[in-house]
A and B are shown apart, each in its own frame.
Chain A
Amino acid sequence: MSRPFLDDDILYKVEKPARYIGNEPNMCIKDPDKVDIRFALCFPDVYEIGMSNIGIQILYEMFNRREDTYCERVFSPWTDLDRIMRERNIPLFTLESQTKVKDCDFLGISLGFEMCYTNILQILDLSQIPIYAKERNEDDPIVIGGGTCAYNPEPIADFFDMFYIGEGEVSYNALLDIYKTCVSREEFLRKAAEVPGIYVPSLYEVEYNEDGTLSAFTPKFHDVPAKVERQICLNPDDYGFIEKPIVPFIKVTQDRVVLEIMRGCTRGCRFCQAGFIYRPLREHSTEYLKDFAVKMLDMTGCEEISLSSLSSSDYSKIEELLDYLIEYTKEKKVNISLPSLRIDAFSLDVMNKVQDVKKSSLTFAPEAGTQRLRDVINKGITEEDILSGSFEAFKGGWNKVKLYFMLGLPTETSDDRKGIGNLCEAIAENYYTIPKEDRVGKVSVSASASFFVPKPFTPFQWAGMYTQEEYKERAYEVKDHIKTLLNQKVIRFQFHDADVSVLEGVFARGDRKLSKLIETAYRKGAMYDAWSDYFKPEVWNEAFAETGLDPEFYNRQRSLDELLPWDFIDIGVTKDFLKHEWNNAMNGNVTPNCRQKCSGCGAGRFGTGVCRE
């Protein structure tokens, strides 16, 4: 058992010392002195959040399968420990061997969401690694980023030596093999740029127009690719999954075994980045899934298993898989959690089998209040689907419905916003058409709205955002309208923080000029921005003022001809297709899903998954 890096007196002072001691069941134990490569794998948020991330678990096992590599975990120290570490100049350490991150060869940071950017600086700073890549020397680890935000890495490009764009299972072995042959940092960065999917920011020249938009993005050398290709697992079954998930001592956000059943999505909802960057839809075979479900439950002893994908109802063998899992879990007294299932007779039947009598709520994601707007965003769910689905559920004993919406979608009008309340009202009224004796308690409809943030590689990547005040006005319009409805007492409406959404928008479609903004905000104390209790809007406002940057520049509607900071990445889906979809949206045209009809998005060139069906 490795002695904790932190002294007892510090561990007693902080909340949940278990976050920092490692040694959990299934933790990988290797001798750091007997491997060639030490890889510190980081999720830049607190332990409980990082340990719930499935990407970290997959990469952890993948790296540790290499005999020459020891992959260890690092997470953001909570604010209490952060303060102590700065006071006493204690460097950041890994959980497995309880040794300094600075002594590792690589520091890999998972980029799950934009609001973690200041935590990236916290990780670098506490590790005593220079936050700007250009200031690092031969002793510093190679800092590499991957994950969803790597699809527009420009706002944080100055902090990273490289990014891995795409699915992690594919190119890391090649990258690490090359690393072992290189003698210097510079040599490795040059060679790494030739590995498909690797983007080395320092090897590109960025030029701007007078108005601040990008004018050019050029490789500095001929052997550096002009376009970086997103990496994709052509057949997911060929790659390992998670066999021995680490079992945390404390309760983490996802306190269950997560089984990823497929990647990608066929639906083509125009706001959804994941749906486009993971195309085409690729399924795991049921044999693979059954095998891993059993392995993971046996190795952890977890009481719950959850299926993960963008749209689980679309898994072609969902019935077979669920039948197997229901039987297996019943025998083992394990719960099944089924997020993102389309609500219909089949799923209600399944949910009856897996849930206990205190039925939780039924979730729908209409995203928009009217069919017109749902067609614009290509969300193929109709009012009829929602009403008949909830009706079936009410008959079956459910009485709680949860609805997800977005405000600020392109072409949204007052009618669309009122549609949110009207839809909730229709559901409530539907409940009362059930005979009194069959109803179970009072109905409750809760609607939650986030503010739409345009993301790269979606048809809406050109859309404009609004100001904080405008978002709040829209939210209040919905709230006030609900108050006028007959069943307003059973309808609850809540919405997200507009200021965070505005900042998220800046980062989502930002450029390299933003690194100065992030550093400035960080030095002023911004950290844990994804946590509403810790988000400091005044710090960010000051940072914008000091750097002379304007959030409205980044959140404006973009011209279709503009060179976008992420255009250098090729994800398969073509820019022309996205433009075509943008025009479809403006005309309210619906695009069928991949299984109904191929729309020629460009992902077909991979020749795999649903494109082959």
Chain B
Amino acid sequence: MKLRVKFAKTGNMKFIGHLDIMRYFQKAMRRADIPIKYSEGFSPHQIMSFAAPLGIGLESTGEYFDMALCDDVTDPDLKSYKDRLNGCMCPGMEILDLKVLDEHAVKAMAAVGQADYEVEGCVVTPEMADRIHQHRYMNIMKRTKSDDFREVDLTQFIYDFVVDGDVVRMRISQGSNENIKPETVLNAIGIFGNGQRNLPENVRITRTEIRDAEGKSLIYEGV
């Protein structure tokens, strides 16, 4: 039986990288005594796979991983798992939801198609927003697999872009097909004038949800 887990990673936890988050959950599973299944073979490891890595510096209220339960578990007490895991979380980490996955559900990593981001602390003028809404030429350079660069029109990967006071909300392409970073979008519309790659001070970016290619939240995928 497989579960899909939705969790939040906020506050101080934004400084912890993806690999360390994976190791963190491996230990948390043991502390909470969750019957997670281990792989066969000589170095058994927990069967857990994350939907999409989150870069350092970003917070999130919509992260996902899939996990397998031990074969002898037929009727998992999801509320108990959630409470036990939350009892082992540290400030900034929270388990938001657990759902049993349909047998034929697509794996989290493969299902990822879009993601929602919220950006605070940036000043986006109507002109900047227009560039996206009117699909004006906005090319960026993207690295290809053969370490080359190719030009890509960014606007085709931006599905929604709303400026709400001093909060910007966007829905952009995410996953193995075309993975776009929110910083790239902000850069392209001229927020970070000098092309710097680090977030400027006081800018806060939060991933609020991961969705499949049709826009459905992953927690509903195949459930």
Contacts and interface: CB of A to CB of B under 8 A. Distances in A.
Interface stretch (A297-305, A413-421, A527-535): A297-305
Contacts of B56: 12, 17
A566 B27 CA distance: 45
Interface stretch (B28-36, B103-111, B146-154): B28-36
Given A8-B201, A333-B44, A21 B12 contact: yes
Interface in A281-304: 297-303
A23 B90 contact: yes
Contact of B42 (A8, A249, A358): A358
A23 B57 CA distance: 17
Contact of A298 (B23, B31, B42, B90): B31
A249 B91 CA distance: 12
A249 B27 contact: no
B26 A9 contact: no
Contacts of A356: 42-43
Contacts of B26: 301, 303
B15 A21 contact: yes
Contacts of A8: 201
Interface residues of A, number: 29
Contact of A12 (B20, B43, B199): B199
Interface string A348-365: 000000001110000000
Most A-side CB within 10 Å, residue of B12, B27, B29, B92: B12
A10 B56 CA distance: 14
Nearest to A21: B12
B201 A1 contact: no
B24 interface: yes
B133 to A, nearest CB: 31
Contacts of A298: 31
B24 A249 contact: yes
A247 to B, nearest CB: 6
B75 to A, nearest CB: 23
Contact of B15 (A9, A18, A247, A297): A18
B2 to A, nearest CB: 19
Contact of B90 (A12, A17, A25, A301): A25
Given A356-B43, A358-B42, A301 B201 contact: no
Nearest to A13: B198
A357 B43 CA distance: 9
B190 interface: no
A24 B43 contact: no
A489 interface: no
A131 B31 CA distance: 43
A301 B27 contact: yes
B53 interface: no
A21 B24 CA distance: 16
A357 B92 contact: no
B192 interface: no
Contacts of A9: 201
A27 to B, nearest CB: 8
Contacts of A333: 38, 44
Contacts of B16: 18, 249-250
Nearest to B12: A21
Contact of B92 (A1, A250, A297): A1
Contacts of B38: 333
Contact of B27 (A4, A27, A300): A300
Interface in B28-61: 28-31, 38, 42-44, 56-57
Given A17-B15, A247-B24, A250-B16, 17 more contacts: A1-B11, A12-B57, A12-B198, A18-B16, A23-B92, A24-B90, A25-B27, A25-B28, A249-B16, A249-B20, A297-B30, A299-B31, A300-B27, A301-B26, A302-B30, A333-B38, A333-B44
18 contacts: A1-B12, A1-B92, A12-B56, A12-B57, A12-B199, A17-B15, A23-B92, A25-B31, A25-B88, A25-B90, A27-B90, A247-B24, A249-B16, A299-B31, A301-B27, A301-B31, A302-B30, A356-B43
Closest 6 CB pairs of A and B: A301-B27, A301-B30, A1-B91, A301-B31, A17-B15, A356-B42
